[in-house]
Amino acid sequence: MPKSAAGQKRQAAQADLDDQNPKRANSGRNEKAEAPNGTKRITRSSDQSSPNASTSSRKQPNRTSSKNDKSAEASSSAVNTPNKKAKIIKKGIARPVVKSKKIANPKATKNPSKLPTKADHPPRATDGRSSSLSEVSIPIRKAKALAIDDAAEEDDSDGPSYWLMKAEPDSRMEKGKDVKFSIDDLMNATEPEAWDGVRNPTARNNMRAMMKGDMAFFYHSNCKKPGIVGTMEIVREHSVDASAFDKEHPYHDEKSTEDKPKWCVVHVEFRRKFPNMVSLKELQQFAKPGGTLENMQTLRMSRLSVSKVSKKEWDFIHSLLEDDAEAA
Protein backbone atom coordinates (compact mmCIF):
# COMPACT_ATOMS: atom_id res chain seq x y z
CA MET A 1 0.00 0.00 0.00
CA PRO A 2 1.56 3.26 -1.09
CA LYS A 3 2.56 5.58 1.69
CA SER A 4 1.39 9.13 1.79
CA ALA A 5 3.75 12.03 1.37
CA ALA A 6 3.51 12.89 5.07
CA GLY A 7 4.36 9.35 6.07
CA GLN A 8 7.36 9.38 3.75
CA LYS A 9 8.56 12.61 5.30
CA ARG A 10 8.28 11.15 8.81
CA GLN A 11 10.13 8.04 7.74
CA ALA A 12 12.91 10.13 6.22
CA ALA A 13 13.22 12.26 9.38
CA GLN A 14 13.38 9.13 11.51
CA ALA A 15 16.13 7.74 9.31
CA ASP A 16 18.12 10.95 9.73
CA LEU A 17 17.80 10.71 13.50
CA ASP A 18 18.89 7.08 13.43
CA ASP A 19 21.95 8.01 11.40
CA GLN A 20 22.88 10.64 13.97
CA ASN A 21 22.31 8.34 16.99
CA PRO A 22 23.02 4.68 16.16
CA LYS A 23 22.26 3.53 19.75
CA ARG A 24 18.77 4.90 19.49
CA ALA A 25 18.29 3.02 16.23
CA ASN A 26 19.49 -0.28 17.76
CA SER A 27 17.29 0.13 20.85
CA GLY A 28 14.31 0.82 18.65
CA ARG A 29 14.93 -2.27 16.65
CA ASN A 30 15.38 -4.39 19.78
CA GLU A 31 12.02 -3.40 21.23
CA LYS A 32 10.03 -5.12 18.52
CA ALA A 33 11.65 -7.45 16.05
CA GLU A 34 10.04 -10.07 13.95
CA ALA A 35 11.31 -13.54 13.82
CA PRO A 36 11.98 -15.04 10.45
CA ASN A 37 8.86 -17.06 10.72
CA GLY A 38 6.77 -13.94 11.21
CA THR A 39 6.32 -14.23 14.98
CA LYS A 40 7.16 -11.39 17.32
CA ARG A 41 10.32 -11.82 19.48
CA ILE A 42 10.82 -9.83 22.62
CA THR A 43 14.40 -9.05 23.57
CA ARG A 44 15.56 -7.71 26.95
CA SER A 45 17.31 -4.44 26.62
CA SER A 46 19.39 -2.56 29.20
CA ASP A 47 16.40 -0.54 30.37
CA GLN A 48 14.27 -3.63 31.05
CA SER A 49 14.63 -6.18 33.84
CA SER A 50 13.17 -9.47 34.93
CA PRO A 51 10.09 -9.63 37.15
CA ASN A 52 12.34 -10.53 40.05
CA ALA A 53 14.58 -7.59 39.35
CA SER A 54 11.61 -5.28 39.07
CA THR A 55 10.34 -6.56 42.37
CA SER A 56 13.74 -6.07 44.07
CA SER A 57 14.02 -2.59 42.58
CA ARG A 58 10.99 -1.47 44.48
CA LYS A 59 11.56 1.16 47.07
CA GLN A 60 12.53 -0.39 50.40
CA PRO A 61 11.79 1.46 53.65
CA ASN A 62 14.83 3.32 55.10
CA ARG A 63 15.38 1.34 58.30
CA THR A 64 18.39 3.42 59.35
CA SER A 65 16.45 6.62 59.06
CA SER A 66 13.59 5.19 61.10
CA LYS A 67 16.04 4.09 63.82
CA ASN A 68 17.58 7.53 63.83
CA ASP A 69 14.12 9.07 64.12
CA LYS A 70 13.28 6.87 67.09
CA SER A 71 16.67 7.59 68.72
CA ALA A 72 16.21 11.29 68.19
CA GLU A 73 12.80 11.11 69.81
CA ALA A 74 14.30 9.17 72.76
CA SER A 75 17.12 11.67 73.23
CA SER A 76 14.72 14.61 73.10
CA SER A 77 12.47 12.95 75.66
CA ALA A 78 15.53 12.28 77.85
CA VAL A 79 16.39 15.97 77.82
CA ASN A 80 12.88 16.89 78.88
CA THR A 81 12.84 14.21 81.59
CA PRO A 82 16.29 14.09 83.28
CA ASN A 83 15.26 11.41 85.79
CA LYS A 84 14.69 8.84 83.01
CA LYS A 85 17.38 6.90 81.19
CA ALA A 86 18.98 9.01 78.46
CA LYS A 87 20.21 7.61 75.14
CA ILE A 88 23.22 8.71 73.09
CA ILE A 89 23.31 7.96 69.32
CA LYS A 90 26.69 6.80 68.09
CA LYS A 91 27.14 5.38 64.57
CA GLY A 92 23.45 4.62 64.26
CA ILE A 93 23.36 2.56 67.52
CA ALA A 94 21.29 3.65 70.48
CA ARG A 95 23.13 3.05 73.75
CA PRO A 96 21.51 3.68 77.12
CA VAL A 97 23.44 5.84 79.58
CA VAL A 98 22.36 5.65 83.19
CA LYS A 99 23.25 8.64 85.35
CA SER A 100 24.81 7.37 88.56
CA LYS A 101 23.36 8.63 91.79
CA LYS A 102 24.61 7.83 95.28
CA ILE A 103 21.98 6.40 97.55
CA ALA A 104 22.65 6.10 101.24
CA ASN A 105 20.56 2.94 101.58
CA PRO A 106 19.31 1.42 98.27
CA LYS A 107 17.13 -1.13 100.08
CA ALA A 108 15.35 1.59 101.97
CA THR A 109 14.26 3.29 98.73
CA LYS A 110 12.60 0.10 97.48
CA ASN A 111 10.77 -0.74 100.65
CA PRO A 112 10.97 1.87 103.42
CA SER A 113 9.11 -0.42 105.80
CA LYS A 114 12.06 -2.87 105.84
CA LEU A 115 14.68 -0.57 107.36
CA PRO A 116 17.46 -2.23 109.43
CA THR A 117 16.86 -2.31 113.16
CA LYS A 118 19.04 -2.96 116.21
CA ALA A 119 18.02 -6.64 116.13
CA ASP A 120 19.02 -6.97 112.46
CA HIS A 121 22.45 -5.38 112.89
CA PRO A 122 23.67 -5.56 116.51
CA PRO A 123 26.83 -3.53 117.14
CA ARG A 124 30.10 -5.37 117.59
CA ALA A 125 32.52 -4.80 120.43
CA THR A 126 36.24 -5.22 119.81
CA ASP A 127 36.66 -7.78 122.58
CA GLY A 128 33.69 -9.92 121.53
CA ARG A 129 31.09 -8.53 123.93
CA SER A 130 27.80 -7.14 122.67
CA SER A 131 26.55 -3.72 123.65
CA SER A 132 23.75 -1.33 122.76
CA LEU A 133 23.95 1.33 120.05
CA SER A 134 24.09 4.13 122.59
CA GLU A 135 27.15 2.57 124.25
CA VAL A 136 29.26 2.05 121.12
CA SER A 137 31.04 5.26 120.26
CA ILE A 138 34.68 4.06 120.61
CA PRO A 139 36.25 0.58 120.76
CA ILE A 140 35.87 -1.00 124.17
CA ARG A 141 39.57 -1.65 124.67
CA LYS A 142 40.36 1.94 123.88
CA ALA A 143 37.60 3.02 126.25
CA LYS A 144 39.19 0.89 128.96
CA ALA A 145 42.55 2.54 128.44
CA LEU A 146 40.95 5.97 128.54
CA ALA A 147 39.08 5.06 131.71
CA ILE A 148 42.33 3.96 133.37
CA ASP A 149 44.06 7.16 132.30
CA ASP A 150 41.15 9.24 133.55
CA ALA A 151 41.23 7.43 136.88
CA ALA A 152 44.97 8.05 137.19
CA GLU A 153 44.49 11.71 136.39
CA GLU A 154 41.74 11.96 139.00
CA ASP A 155 44.03 10.33 141.59
CA ASP A 156 46.84 12.72 140.74
CA SER A 157 44.53 15.73 140.79
CA ASP A 158 43.41 14.92 144.34
CA GLY A 159 46.97 14.86 145.65
CA PRO A 160 50.46 16.14 144.79
CA SER A 161 52.43 15.31 141.69
CA TYR A 162 55.59 13.26 141.99
CA TRP A 163 59.09 13.77 140.59
CA LEU A 164 62.65 12.48 140.70
CA MET A 165 65.61 14.88 140.98
CA LYS A 166 69.27 13.92 140.63
CA ALA A 167 72.33 15.35 142.39
CA GLU A 168 75.97 14.29 142.72
CA PRO A 169 76.94 13.08 146.23
CA ASP A 170 80.67 12.86 145.46
CA SER A 171 83.00 15.82 145.14
CA ARG A 172 83.65 17.10 141.62
CA MET A 173 85.33 20.38 140.78
CA GLU A 174 83.96 22.67 138.05
CA LYS A 175 85.64 26.04 137.47
CA GLY A 176 87.30 25.78 140.87
CA LYS A 177 84.06 25.01 142.69
CA ASP A 178 82.76 21.75 144.16
CA VAL A 179 79.36 20.75 142.68
CA LYS A 180 78.77 18.03 145.30
CA PHE A 181 75.27 17.93 146.87
CA SER A 182 73.90 14.90 148.74
CA ILE A 183 70.82 13.96 150.75
CA ASP A 184 72.83 14.75 153.89
CA ASP A 185 73.55 18.27 152.64
CA LEU A 186 69.84 18.86 152.13
CA MET A 187 69.03 17.39 155.54
CA ASN A 188 71.49 19.79 157.19
CA ALA A 189 70.20 22.87 155.33
CA THR A 190 68.59 25.51 157.55
CA GLU A 191 66.40 26.98 154.83
CA PRO A 192 64.82 25.83 151.57
CA GLU A 193 67.45 24.93 149.02
CA ALA A 194 67.37 26.33 145.47
CA TRP A 195 67.72 23.47 142.98
CA ASP A 196 69.92 25.27 140.44
CA GLY A 197 72.24 24.31 137.60
CA VAL A 198 69.63 22.52 135.47
CA ARG A 199 70.49 23.13 131.79
CA ASN A 200 68.32 20.59 130.01
CA PRO A 201 65.11 21.91 128.37
CA THR A 202 63.01 18.84 129.29
CA ALA A 203 64.21 18.92 132.90
CA ARG A 204 63.52 22.67 133.02
CA ASN A 205 59.99 22.17 131.72
CA ASN A 206 59.39 19.57 134.42
CA MET A 207 60.50 22.09 137.04
CA ARG A 208 58.15 24.70 135.60
CA ALA A 209 55.29 22.21 135.99
CA MET A 210 56.00 21.66 139.70
CA MET A 211 53.56 23.02 142.24
CA LYS A 212 53.99 23.82 145.89
CA GLY A 213 53.36 20.64 147.90
CA ASP A 214 54.60 18.24 145.21
CA MET A 215 56.94 15.46 146.35
CA ALA A 216 60.21 14.28 144.78
CA PHE A 217 62.67 11.43 145.16
CA PHE A 218 66.27 12.46 145.92
CA TYR A 219 68.48 10.44 143.57
CA HIS A 220 72.25 10.07 143.95
CA SER A 221 73.78 10.23 140.48
CA ASN A 222 77.21 10.02 138.86
CA CYS A 223 78.61 7.89 141.65
CA LYS A 224 79.69 4.32 142.32
CA LYS A 225 76.26 3.17 143.47
CA PRO A 226 73.45 5.36 142.03
CA GLY A 227 69.89 5.15 143.28
CA ILE A 228 67.05 6.72 145.29
CA VAL A 229 68.09 7.70 148.84
CA GLY A 230 65.20 9.81 150.19
CA THR A 231 62.40 12.30 149.57
CA MET A 232 61.91 16.06 149.59
CA GLU A 233 59.06 18.50 149.10
CA ILE A 234 58.65 21.40 146.67
CA VAL A 235 58.06 24.40 148.92
CA ARG A 236 58.47 27.21 146.39
CA GLU A 237 57.55 27.12 142.71
CA HIS A 238 59.87 27.97 139.84
CA SER A 239 61.74 31.25 139.61
CA VAL A 240 64.68 32.57 137.55
CA ASP A 241 67.99 30.72 137.93
CA ALA A 242 70.39 33.62 138.50
CA SER A 243 73.41 31.30 138.49
CA ALA A 244 73.20 31.23 134.69
CA PHE A 245 74.14 34.95 134.61
CA ASP A 246 77.25 34.46 136.78
CA LYS A 247 80.35 33.96 134.64
CA GLU A 248 82.15 32.38 137.63
CA HIS A 249 79.44 29.80 138.22
CA PRO A 250 80.09 26.21 136.99
CA TYR A 251 76.81 26.28 135.00
CA HIS A 252 77.04 29.75 133.48
CA ASP A 253 75.07 30.17 130.22
CA GLU A 254 75.89 33.22 128.14
CA LYS A 255 72.65 32.79 126.12
CA SER A 256 70.58 33.33 129.24
CA THR A 257 70.28 37.01 130.16
CA GLU A 258 68.39 38.94 132.78
CA ASP A 259 66.14 40.33 130.04
CA LYS A 260 65.54 36.86 128.55
CA PRO A 261 66.28 34.17 131.15
CA LYS A 262 66.25 30.56 129.92
CA TRP A 263 66.52 28.58 133.14
CA CYS A 264 64.69 28.31 136.44
CA VAL A 265 65.00 26.89 139.95
CA VAL A 266 62.58 25.45 142.49
CA HIS A 267 63.11 25.45 146.25
CA VAL A 268 62.99 22.15 148.11
CA GLU A 269 63.07 20.93 151.73
CA PHE A 270 64.21 17.64 153.19
CA ARG A 271 61.53 15.16 154.24
CA ARG A 272 63.04 11.67 154.61
CA LYS A 273 66.23 9.65 154.20
CA PHE A 274 65.73 5.99 153.41
CA PRO A 275 67.44 3.42 155.63
CA ASN A 276 68.44 1.53 152.50
CA MET A 277 68.98 2.88 149.02
CA VAL A 278 66.76 1.68 146.18
CA SER A 279 69.55 1.13 143.69
CA LEU A 280 69.43 1.68 139.95
CA LYS A 281 69.93 -2.03 139.32
CA GLU A 282 66.94 -2.86 141.50
CA LEU A 283 64.80 -0.33 139.63
CA GLN A 284 65.88 -1.77 136.29
CA GLN A 285 64.67 -5.22 137.32
CA PHE A 286 61.10 -3.89 137.31
CA ALA A 287 61.55 -1.91 134.08
CA LYS A 288 61.35 -4.93 131.78
CA PRO A 289 58.33 -5.27 129.42
CA GLY A 290 55.26 -5.73 131.58
CA GLY A 291 57.04 -4.51 134.71
CA THR A 292 55.62 -1.86 137.03
CA LEU A 293 58.43 0.60 136.20
CA GLU A 294 58.43 -0.13 132.48
CA ASN A 295 57.50 3.46 131.58
CA MET A 296 59.36 5.29 134.33
CA GLN A 297 60.85 8.37 132.71
CA THR A 298 64.23 8.33 134.46
CA LEU A 299 64.83 4.74 133.28
CA ARG A 300 63.88 5.57 129.71
CA MET A 301 65.89 8.85 129.68
CA SER A 302 68.86 8.09 131.89
CA ARG A 303 70.59 11.45 131.36
CA LEU A 304 67.55 13.48 132.42
CA SER A 305 68.25 15.14 135.79
CA VAL A 306 64.60 16.02 136.61
CA SER A 307 61.89 13.54 135.58
CA LYS A 308 58.26 12.69 136.20
CA VAL A 309 57.08 9.89 138.48
CA SER A 310 53.54 8.51 138.44
CA LYS A 311 51.66 7.80 141.66
CA LYS A 312 51.76 4.10 140.83
CA GLU A 313 55.55 4.23 140.52
CA TRP A 314 55.85 6.33 143.67
CA ASP A 315 53.85 3.85 145.74
CA PHE A 316 55.64 0.84 144.26
CA ILE A 317 59.09 2.17 145.12
CA HIS A 318 57.94 2.83 148.68
CA SER A 319 56.67 -0.77 148.86
CA LEU A 320 60.20 -1.95 148.03
CA LEU A 321 61.44 -0.09 151.10
CA GLU A 322 58.83 -1.75 153.28
CA ASP A 323 59.87 -5.17 151.99
CA ASP A 324 63.49 -4.40 152.91
CA ALA A 325 62.43 -3.30 156.41
CA GLU A 326 60.47 -6.50 156.97
CA ALA A 327 63.35 -8.59 155.74
CA ALA A 328 65.69 -6.83 158.19
State residue 38's pLDDT score.
Answer: 47
Q: Percentage of the chain with pLDDT > 70?
A: 52
Chain segment 300-317, per-residue pLDDT in tens: 999 999 999 999 999 999
- pLDDT, residue 310, reads 97
Query: In sequence order, which ranges of the chain are alpha helices (DSSP H)?
Result: 5-20, 22-31, 51-56, 63-80, 106-110, 140-158, 183-187, 201-209, 280-285, 297-300, 311-327
Structure-model confidence comparison of residues 102 and 34, the more confident one? 102
Has residue 128 got a pLDDT over 50?
no
Give pLDDT, residue 229. 98
**Integer CA distances (angstroms), 280 to 170, 221, 301, in order:** 17, 10, 13
Most confident of 6-15, 35-44, 122-131, 184-193: 184-193
Query: pTM here?
Result: 0.54
Average pLDDT, integer, range 257-266: 95
> For residues 290 and 278, what is the distance between their CA atoms, to the nearest angstrom?
20
What pLDDT is recorded for position 12?
Answer: 72
Distances in Å between the Cα of 195 and the Cα atoms of 210, 264, 287 are 12, 9, 28
In this structure, of 12-26, 104-118, 275-289, the range with the lowest mean pLDDT score is 104-118
Q: Quick one: pLDDT band at residue 119, thresholds 50, 70, 90?
A: low
| Lowest-confidence pick of 20-29, 40-49, 222-231 | 40-49
Which is more confidently placed, 101 or 321? 321
pLDDT, mean of residues 125-143: 39
User: C-alpha distances in angstroms, 154 versus 41, 61, 150, 160, 312?
Assistant: 126, 91, 6, 11, 13
